[in-house]
Amino acid sequence: MNYRISNRAESLTPSLTLAISAKAKQMKAEGHDVVGFGAGEPDFDTPQHIKDAAAAALEEGFTKYTPSSGIPELRKAVADKFKSDNGLDYDPSQIIISCGGKHSCYNVIMATCQEDDEVVIPAPYWLSYPEMVKLAGAKPVVIPTSDETEFKVTPEQLRSAITSRTRLFILNSPSNPTGTVYTPAEIRELGDICVENGVLIMSDEIYEKLLYDGAEHASVAGFSEQHYAHTIIVHGLAKAYSMTGWRLGYLAAPEPIAKAINSIQSHSTSNPTSFAQKGGVAALTGPQDHLQSWLDEFSKRRGYAHETLNNIPGISCVNAKGAFYLFPKISNFGLSSAEFCRRLLEEDKVAAVPGAAFGADEYIRLSYATDIDNIRKGLDRLAAFTGKLQG
């Protein structure tokens, strides 16, 4: 039997992060004391009132199909969130609830991109963006950045990456994997360039609330009617409410795009899980006080990790202003990021994600969504590992 795999699926790059995390899991199962810096999710539990709302919905029999774009109550709660947090006016008909922020990104790219289109993506990027673009048959155009510009793409770089084929620019601030947060003025300028060139912007704002050192989040949609008309915001509940396993995300788009996405979703996943959506309503409309204590904790860990990393000879690390990742440079040691991470795991039992997974081979990603004792232990081991490499 010839199990011919589609060109579409064959074009994908298997996830480098999965290989490392599978290995870390296996080592843990074998009894090794592995310190994990790989987590892409908060280590806190979902706030209780959110769980209660979903449990009550389940109990009350809210277990059937819902409208494919989500329950009206949740679409309205999302529209209200955009109004109160971002000053943006969206009608609930412009809001689509999906099965995670990742699914929202996928829907946007499927609804807007096709063969011969180019999609401009600054690197380091969230690893799914280029793969989704390839699935749509379009071409990722990657703009490299480095720690010298805090991993920010410059207006000149964006201008020169845009061609007559450019359909979409992907902006992710605060960023995974670097924690970079663009200032409002920088976002506006990138937005201006897209508007001038008729390029749509997919703005992934899922880390909007995870900001440090007074950093400010601005949505590109807010700068003018033109910016609004060119922007699709993707967002979700996973990070700010620690709801990664709930699979609940959302987007806000100009009406025709929302309509197209509704069609796509109605023929693929249909609605996101009914009772999870009730939890989503509780998350967005209920108390938000968990967030400050999470931020305080993240901020403490970030401060410790950032300082400790920069004290390790050969490593340098820009301080992140958002999300829960640091992205130290490790290229001084002469290893590829994959080799560095493989050896770090095998020899010193620390799991980190190679920068190559994010299009930046000179770095590794460390998540500080783990407790401070773990961070201390893991960074001590990292220092011992790099000491051996230098010695």
Among 70, 130, 236, 279, interactor with ligand PLP by CB under 6 A: 236
Among 17, 166, 176, 386, interactor with ligand PLP by CB under 6 A: 176
Segment near ligand PLP (CB under 6 A); pick from 50-58, 235-243, 291-299, 302-310: 235-243
359 binds ligand PLP (CB under 6 A): no
Query: Can you say how many angstroms the Cα of residue 388 is from the centroid of all Cα atoms in its chain?
Result: 33
Binding mask 250-289 for ligand PLP (x = CB under 6 A): ----------------------------------------
Give the nearest distance from C-beta 101 to ligand PLP in angstroms: 3
CA 185, 187, 259 angle in degrees (round to 5)? 140
- Sort strands 95-98 and 249-252 into parallel, antiparallel or unpaired: antiparallel
241 binds ligand PLP (CB under 6 A): no
- Sort strands 166-172 and 139-144 into parallel, antiparallel or unpaired: unpaired
126 or 223: CB nearest ligand PLP: 126
Give the nearest distance from C-beta 60 to ligand PLP in angstroms: 26
Which residues 200-219 are close enough to bind ligand PLP by CB under 6 A? 204, 206
Give the nearest distance from C-beta 159 to ligand PLP in angstroms: 24
Segment near ligand PLP (CB under 6 A); pick from 47-55, 95-103, 268-276, 357-365: 95-103
Report which DSSP code applies to 124: S
Segment near ligand PLP (CB under 6 A); pick from 47-55, 84-92, 97-105, 141-149: 97-105
100 binds ligand PLP (CB under 6 A): yes
CB 198 within 8 A of CB 191: no
230 or 247: CB nearest ligand PLP: 247
Distance in angstroms (rounded) separating the CA atoms of residues 330 and 305: 15
- Give every CB contact of residue 369 below 8 A, 6+ residues apart in sequence: 39, 40, 41, 42, 43, 298, 324
CB 102 within 8 A of CB 127: no
Segment near ligand PLP (CB under 6 A); pick from 17-25, 98-106, 218-226, 296-304: 98-106
CB 132 within 8 A of CB 8: no
Among 38, 42, 70, 249, interactor with ligand PLP by CB under 6 A: 249
CB 291 within 8 A of CB 365: no
Segment near ligand PLP (CB under 6 A); pick from 20-28, 232-240, 305-313, 349-357: 232-240
Among 178, 219, 244, 274, interactor with ligand PLP by CB under 6 A: 244
304 CB-side CA count, 13 A = 20
Among 17, 145, 172, 265, interactor with ligand PLP by CB under 6 A: 172
Distance in angstroms (rounded) separating the CA atoms of residues 34 and 21: 11
381 CB-side CA count, 13 A = 22
Segment near ligand PLP (CB under 6 A); pick from 23-31, 79-87, 144-152, 236-244: 236-244
101 binds ligand PLP (CB under 6 A): yes
306 binds ligand PLP (CB under 6 A): no
- Sort strands 231-236 and 200-204 into parallel, antiparallel or unpaired: parallel
324 binds ligand PLP (CB under 6 A): no
Which segments within 182-280 are labelled E, that is strand? 200-204, 231-236, 249-252
As a 3-state breakdown, the chain gives helix, strand, coil percent values, each rounded to 5, of: 50, 15, 40
110: how many CB neighbours lie within 10 A of its CB?
18
113 or 383: CB nearest ligand PLP: 113
For residue 375, what is the enclosing H or E element? helix 372-390
Give the footprint of ligand PLP on this chain (CB under 6 A): 40, 100-102, 126, 172, 176, 204, 206, 236, 238-239, 244, 249
